[in-house]
């Protein structure tokens, strides 16, 4: 017999909001909010974990002084949207934010984000390929990357915000060997090194 859902999991009056996510109990599983619905995040595969760690490290090494790289941090994109990209690359102003507030923050403001990165898992394909990039573009995030597992290793699909038409991303490159970019800052990533060679 299935265990009953805990009281905190019941939808509050008016539906879940981005602010409600900060009031979840400490023992709650990792979740994101998409269109007012809580989405449980599945355990990571080895591929996902390796790529996330190594790519975050590579981006951190390349990032300028006023750019930070963080994994598994949410963004508030509106009242009913609080997605959690696998990696966020964002700008900050040194000395602007209160030190304690910076450490206690539970989300990154979308206007500070330079790149939102999703690593595709079987259960997240539709969200990572369609739903979340659409929301990132609408929020004005200039770059979106999607990493797909392929037989030969990871493939990084790079998108930029189209500055001419309504908010949407246009593809700029797919990298399977080496990713070299000039924007949003000089980036040179050995894509094959993101997963262990077997």
Residue 22's alpha-carbon distances to 12, 99, 105, 150, 188, in angstroms, are 14, 20, 10, 36, 36
Q: Give the pLDDT confidence of 28-60 residue by residue, as tens digits.
A: 899 999 999 999 998 889 999 999 999 999 999
Q: Give the pLDDT confidence of 94-106 residue by residue, as tens digits.
A: 665 555 577 788 9
The neighbouring-strand residues paired with 180 are 188
Say which CATH topology domain 44-194 has: tt1808, chain A (3.90.1570)
Q: pLDDT (tens digit, 0 to 9) for every residue of the chain, 198 residues total?
A: 667 778 888 888 888 999 999 999 988 899 999 999 999 998 889 999 999 999 999 999 999 999 999 999 999 999 999 999 999 999 987 665 555 577 788 999 999 999 999 999 998 999 999 999 999 999 999 999 999 999 999 999 999 999 777 789 999 999 999 999 999 999 999 999 999 865
What pLDDT does 50 receive?
95
């Amino acid at each position: 017999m299935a265990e009953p859902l805990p009281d905190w999991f019941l939808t509050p009056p008016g539906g879940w909001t981005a602010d409600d996510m900060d009031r979840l109990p400490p023992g709650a599983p990792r979740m994101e909010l998409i269109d007012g619905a809580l989405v449980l995040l599945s355990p990571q595969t080895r591929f996902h974990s390796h790529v996330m760690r190594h790519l975050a490290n590579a981006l951190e090494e390349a990032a300028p002084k006023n750019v930070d790289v963080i994994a598994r941090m949410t963004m508030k994109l509106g009242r009913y949207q609080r997605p959690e990209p696998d990696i966020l690359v964002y700008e900050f102003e040194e000395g602007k934010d209160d030190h304690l507030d910076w450490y206690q923050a539970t989300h990154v403001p979308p206007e500070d984000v330079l790149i939102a990165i999703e690593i595709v898992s079987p259960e997240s394909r539709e969200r990572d390929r369609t739903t979340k990039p659409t929301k990132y573009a609408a929020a004005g995030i200039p770059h979106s990357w999607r990493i797909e597992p392929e037989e030969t290793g990871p493939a990084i699909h790079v998108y930029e915000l189209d500055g001419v038409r309504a908010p949407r991303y246009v593809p700029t490159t797919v990298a399977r060997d080496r990713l070299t970019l000039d924007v949003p800052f000089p980036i040179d990533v050995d894509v094959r090194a993101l997963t262990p060679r077997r």
